[in-house]
């Protein structure tokens, strides 16, 4: 049986439960689809990039972000409250000694509100299993060659917790405007599979 048949069966069961909730007046007709559309419409890697640039430019924000990301991202008008409860966000920062990379080994948990919809490679079984066993090799395949003495930390997301990386600020960007800096930050950099 192919994965498509399994997905269709699950989708059918989900639609059945949704219909029951609508019939009982617990959900308005189409409410789940509207909420998903609203949630996805606000999610973009630009959100994560804005957070990173603020951390690069404001040491106090940087420190608060690493200590309590959920509270700190509210300072820039963002939050992790997309469902029934707020997801825990942990932000980790790359430096000369350590490089961070994010994965969800069980499925594809990911901070959609801050990074936009997850890339297909993030959801792939190959990435999810290999980045834990051989992070240096996986990063090399992404084109990121780190010095041998750089420690690599792999952060495993879950249904309750999401992670985001603050990449190192590129050298030679001291005179850049905030919008120029935002333009340098990529989704791969926010996941840790690329440098900025």
Catalytic positions are: 104, 107-109
Rg (CA), the chain: 19
Please provide the size of the chain in residues: 196
CB atoms within 10 A of CB 188: 21
Cα separation, 99 vs 105, in Å, equals 19
Q: Which helix (H) or strand (E) holds 73?
A: helix 69-73
Q: Read off the tokens for 120.
A: 């297909």
Q: How far apart are CA 45 and CA 28, in angstroms?
A: 31
Q: Which two tokens stand for residue 150?
A: 């750089």
Non-local (6+) Cβ contacts of 19 within 8 A are none
Task: Name 48's bridge partners.
Answer: none
Q: What angle do CA 91, 59, 89 make, to 5 degrees?
A: 15
């Amino acid at each position: 049986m192919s994965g498509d048949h399994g997905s269709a069966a699950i989708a059918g069961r989900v639609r059945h439960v949704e219909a029951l909730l609508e019939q009982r007046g617990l959900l308005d007709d189409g409410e789940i689809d509207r909420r998903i559309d609203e949630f996805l419409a606000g999610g973009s890697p630009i959100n994560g990039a804005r957070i990173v640039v603020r951390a690069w430019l404001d040491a106090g924000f940087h420190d608060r972000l690493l200590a309590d990301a959920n509270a700190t991202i509210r300072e820039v008008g963002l939050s992790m409250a997309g469902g029934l409860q707020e997801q825990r966000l942990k932000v980790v920062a790359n430096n000369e000694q350590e490089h961070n990379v994010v994965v969800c080994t069980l499925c594809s948990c990911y901070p959609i509100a801050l990074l936009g919809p997850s890339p297909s490679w993030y959801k792939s079984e190959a990435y999810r299993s290999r980045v834990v066993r051989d992070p240096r090799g996986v990063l090399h395949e992404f084109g990121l060659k780190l010095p041998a003495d750089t420690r690599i930390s792999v952060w495993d997301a879950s249904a309750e917790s999401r992670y985001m990386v603050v990449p190192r600020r590129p050298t030679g960007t001291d005179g850049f405007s905030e919008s120029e800096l935002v333009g340098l930050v990529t989704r791969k950099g926010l996941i840790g599979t690329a440098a900025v």
